[in-house]
Amino acid sequence: MFFYISEYFKSNIMKNVTILGSTGTIGENTLNVIAGFPSKFNVFALTANKSIEKLYRQVLDWRPRYAVLSCTNSAKILSDKLKSHSAIKTEVIGGPESLQFVAAHEETDYVMAAIVGGAGLLSSMSAARHGKRILLANKESLVMSGELFMNEVKNSGSQLLPIDSEHNAIFQCLPFDYGSPKSSSSASITKLILTGSGGPFLNTSAEKLSDISVEQACNHPNWVMGQKISIDSATMMNKGLEIIEACHLYDMPSEKVEVVIHPQSIIHSMVEYIDGSVLAQLGTPDMKIPIAYGLGWPERICSGAEFLDFYRMKSLTFEKPDYEKFKCLTYAREAYRQGGVYPAILNASNEVAVESFIENKVKFTHIPEIIDCALNSCSFEYDSTINSILRADFECRKYLKEQIGGKKWSI
Ligand code: NAD
Ligand code: MG
């Protein structure tokens, strides 16, 4: 990753922020942080998929230049609703390509990429191509297209700031010149240590997992998150996606990315150095901390999160992940090792499996089975273009949708 600090100090003026996925958990937390800095950040564009009512309220509160709904019918409804507010000049636009338009807009300075899933790929990529500061929460886009995404960032001079709490923690623990062309600091790093709470089923026996309900899977012990990432945490696919994310962000071989279970979610991740030192970032489990870090970098700004109280904290514990029980971790490592379109197949099959679980079409334990089947059955050519990634994503989803509900996977 390349960071040009002098550039930042040259232009310490009001920044226009586009929030892709503003109605989600990360989007709302971003607005909460921004609310504390009316002279530093201006909300330029807000986007959602179909949540008309939530976006309507956000438009009334923030009066952005653009409001985007990727569903065109929903955009029409929002536009009609806003007609009675003559003081509001927000332009409402619709369709998936509008996401790319606001991400690339010449007046956008910062893009919070917080759409969930592969649906965020093209808009995140568009921000990368147009040299924006990208606050990357949408890990799926990096998993799908890692090498291409990182090339766009390098070629355009984008600043890529990870918002995922683990990668943000690692960013904070790395040497300041890490990744710059003249630096040799990467040689001093022996390991990146990703911590993970282990999710709601850390201590549930493997036999009991087949009866898990959507509500139980979404009941994360420490974090409040959207439905998809909550289920990914329950299967530990979230940690699998994060291994791949870390490899791309920090140009690390996957063998040097270790997962450690830390049920209290106080240490958000660590970097181990050649001299035996380990640097860690700690904090309460609140996404406003990494979001504020990304918005303020290289300064630190108030996040509004609660501070740690060491005297209330009983203990910090650590254990090895159970790769047998949480097979998604193994599948993610394997997909990354195979490279090409395999990480995109991993992601697409996980999204289809999670959606099917939410819709009560398959059991919780079918999720890893579906992913395993996709990785073994789907094989598409990768020619280092985004089109080959999109094709693999599309074909894999189509294949699995035909299978689900059949003899193999049904309730
Ligand atoms: P969420 O489900 O709460 O919100 C998702 C947002 O994406 C909503 O605004 C929704 O309207 C939008 N969206 C969904 N489908 C879309 C589509 N097809 N087109 C356009 N927009 C669409 O999700 P979240 O928890 O805020 O997570 C967002 C991203 O951040 C995910 O990639 C997740 O992995 C990552 N992340 C989240 C957390 C967390 O604590 N929530 C932590 C780390 C990383
Ligand atoms: Mg995370």
Q: Whose CA is nearest to atom 23 of ligand 1?
A: 226
Strand partners, 43: 17
CB 268 near ligand 1, within 6 Å: no
CB 27 near ligand 1, within 6 Å: yes
Residues contacting 125, CB < 8 A, separation 6+: 141, 145, 148, 149, 152, 386
What's the CA-to-centroid distance between 165 and ligand 2, angstroms?
Answer: 5
CB 321 near ligand 1, within 6 Å: no
pLDDT values of the chain reduced to their tens digit, one per residue, 411 residues: 545 454 554 456 999 999 999 999 999 999 999 999 999 999 999 999 999 999 999 999 999 999 999 999 999 999 999 999 999 999 999 999 999 999 999 999 999 999 999 999 999 999 999 999 999 999 999 999 999 999 999 999 999 999 999 999 999 999 988 988 788 888 999 999 999 999 999 999 999 999 999 999 999 899 889 999 999 999 999 999 999 999 999 999 999 999 999 999 999 999 999 999 999 999 999 999 999 999 999 999 999 999 999 999 889 999 999 999 999 999 999 999 999 999 999 999 999 999 999 999 999 999 999 999 999 999 889 999 999 999 999 999 999 999 997 778 888
| Straight-line distance from the first to the last Cα atom of the chain, in angstroms, rounded to the nearest whole number | 45
**Rounded (to 5) percent helix, strand, coil in the chain:** 45, 15, 40
Q: Whose CA is nearest to atom 18 of ligand 1?
A: 119
Amino acid at 150: M
CB 139 near ligand 1, within 6 Å: yes
Q: What is the distance between the alpha carbons of residues 78 and 91, in angstroms, rounded to a whole number?
A: 10
Burial class (CB in 10 A: 0-12, 13-18, 19+), 277: exposed
Helix (H) / strand (E) element for 55: namely: helix 52-62
Q: What is the distance between the alpha carbons of residues 72 and 381, in angstroms, rounded to a whole number?
A: 33
Atom of ligand 1 nearest to the CA of 48: 11
Neighbours of 347 (CB within 10 A): 32
